[in-house]
Structure 1
Amino acid sequence: MSHTIRVGDLVTGEAVVLDLRVAQLASRAVAFAFDVAVQFLLLLFVYLVLPISVDDALLTALALTLVVLVLVGYPTLVETLTRGRSVGKLVMGLRVVRDDGGAIRFRHALVRALGGFFVDFWALGLGGAVALFVSLFSPQGKRVGDYLAGTLVIRTRVPRQDVELVDMPPQLADWARGLDLSQLPDELVLAARQYLSRYHELGEKARWELGARLADDVGAAVRSPRVEYTHPHPYLAAVLAERRRRAAG
């Protein structure tokens, strides 16, 4: 049986679910409120700099164009550049990821923004009722834009009591000190934590295959691929232990 990895419902071929904390509606609503505030400030700025010497028809056209650019362009640009973290999501510790757990790209951010503008929030004039209704009935809290883009929103902050502390494998300590962890995505850190914390629930084949996929993704992010004969468990444990050491120091 093949093994698949999905953030939010991380499943192994042995049907062991590794829950990676899909964002709840309340936290998404607060993040959205922050983003709306930023968009309102952008619109206010645009309004103040619009030329007032043009005729009413042209002024209306300019205003509508700029409103769409702010309401669609802002989330598209920000989520593309930050790999799924708008201002509101950064404040609330959330991130948009693809359904397969990978980082979103421009097309995902654009489809989400278009879905948000035309269906979820603005164009229908329903004040976000569509997004609220769809999210309430979605197992992963998705709105229409997420379904269209193939994305979901996850929490990147783990409560302290839920974090499984891992020890540094002595043989990898020197290697880990030289790692560049600046590009290590939070969603991969969460996946690795869940894998390590539930390692003993997995069969031997799942331990290796699921761990190898995670380790390969982590290795690409830290630019130090796992050596083929190195087991994924100590490799991932070394990366997470080093990350914790730097955060504490």
Structure 2
Amino acid sequence: MSTGSTLYGWRMRHVVTGEAVALELASVSLITRGASLLVDLVIYWSTLVLAFVALGFTGAGIGFNEAAAAAISLATVVGVLVIVPIAVETLTRGRSIGKLIFGIRVVRDDGGGVRFRHCLIRGLAGFAEIYLTLGLLPLLMGVFTERGKRLGDVMAGTYAIRARHPSVRPMMLPVPPNMAAWAQIADIGRVPDDLAARASRLLGTIQTGGRKVDTDAITAVGDRLASEIVTCVAPAPPTTSSVEFLSAVMAERRNREYQRLRIKQTRAENLHRRIHTLPYS
């Protein structure tokens, strides 16, 4: 079961796994897939040219007849343009040099990793649709399919996702001094995660140095977020600005999460130490 939505201009794929966990996998744009394919084609065709050059020198020395030369040439073309891409994609679980450069990976429709049969179908179909139609069929399929699939993806039940995302700088703003006493006793566990994420992004924008921001827009967004979050905390915060209130809530959430993780790690270390000091360890 899955639904689609749009986030930051990416087409999102909501996948529900067998463990009933919802995943959001961003499908790759047609331009990115085309660029990665172009890189792969340059590499494979360069390899094919070098292979024919090597075969030319070898054939001149050995003296292949016409039938043997034709068979070897056909085997070289199939090996470089079909077998090698299938092998590379299988061994790398959906990657290639072009995909690695652009940070994308091919996965199954349910979000799992591809296997040999998926790569085999994609490779065989890809040879036909890319070379026999000069790339026109993949282009049309990418435009009219939901997640930019080509024919090989439709047949294999796969699509391309972003495997590399830009790093997000964590929000490191401290609890404002005038809010420290309130933050220590405040119940902030009812703040929804999506609302907290929006507040964190806003504070990250404020925290980032060297970037000009629209103060009026930041204040307006901060006031709106503060009015939503204030209904989820208790007791009511002291009178302060919306940015300071958001900073106190998000910094305290961060501090409590860090303490929780530290306690969990300490318990795991103690358990590990006790297990390895038993007489039968």
Q: Per the shorter chain, which TM-score range?
A: 0.5 to 0.7
Residue 57 of structure 1 and its aligned partner are, at CA, apart by 2.8
The yes-or-no answer on 1:9 pairing with 2:13 is: yes
Distance 1:26 1:107, change over 3 A: same
> Which residue is 2:34 aligned to?
29
Task: Identify unmatched segments of 5+ residues in structure 1.
Answer: 178-249
Distance 2:120 2:268 in 1: 37
Contact 1:5 1:100 in 2 (8 A): no
> Which residue is 1:153 aligned to?
160
The amino acid that maps onto 1:42 is T
The yes-or-no answer on 1:48 pairing with 2:53 is: yes
Contact 2:15 2:110 in 1 (8 A): no
Equivalent in 39, 44, 47 of residue 44 of structure 2? 39
Identity between Structure 1 and Structure 2 (%) = 38
Aligned length, in residue pairs: 170
Residue 43 of structure 2 aligns to a residue whose secondary structure is: helix
- For 1:95-152, what per-residue CA distance to the aligned partner results, in whole angstroms no more than 9, with x for missing partners? 011111111111111110001012x201x2x211011011110111000000111111
Distance 1:112 1:31 in 2: 15
Distance 2:41 2:26 in 1: 24
> Which residue is 1:209 aligned to?
none
> Which residue is 2:87 aligned to?
77
> Which residue is 1:200 aligned to?
none
> Which residue is 1:245 aligned to?
none
Residue 96 of structure 1 aligns to a residue whose secondary structure is: strand
> Which residue is 1:170 aligned to?
262
**1:57-68 alignment, distance < 5 Å:** 57-68=67-78
- Alignment RMSD, CA only? 3.2
Equivalent in 80, 94, 97 of residue 104 of structure 2? 94
Contact 1:78 1:85 in 2 (8 A): yes
Residue 20 of structure 1 aligns to a residue whose secondary structure is: strand
The amino acid that maps onto 2:263 is Q
Residue 158 of structure 1 and its aligned partner are, at CA, apart by 2.0
Residue 152 of structure 1 aligns to a residue whose secondary structure is: strand
Distance 1:54 1:11, change over 3 A: closer
Distance 1:40 1:110, change over 3 A: same
Equivalent in 127, 147, 172 of residue 134 of structure 2? 127
Contact 1:9 1:17 in 2 (8 A): no
Asked which structure has the greater RCO (Cα within 8 Å, sep 6+), the reply is 1
Distance 1:67 1:88 in 2: 20
Distance 2:82 2:268 in 1: 41
Residue 158 of structure 1 aligns to a residue whose secondary structure is: coil
TM-score (ref. length: structure 1): 0.60
Task: Identify unmatched segments of 5+ residues in structure 2.
Answer: 5-10, 171-196, 201-253, 270-281
Residue 17 of structure 1 and its aligned partner are, at CA, apart by 7.7
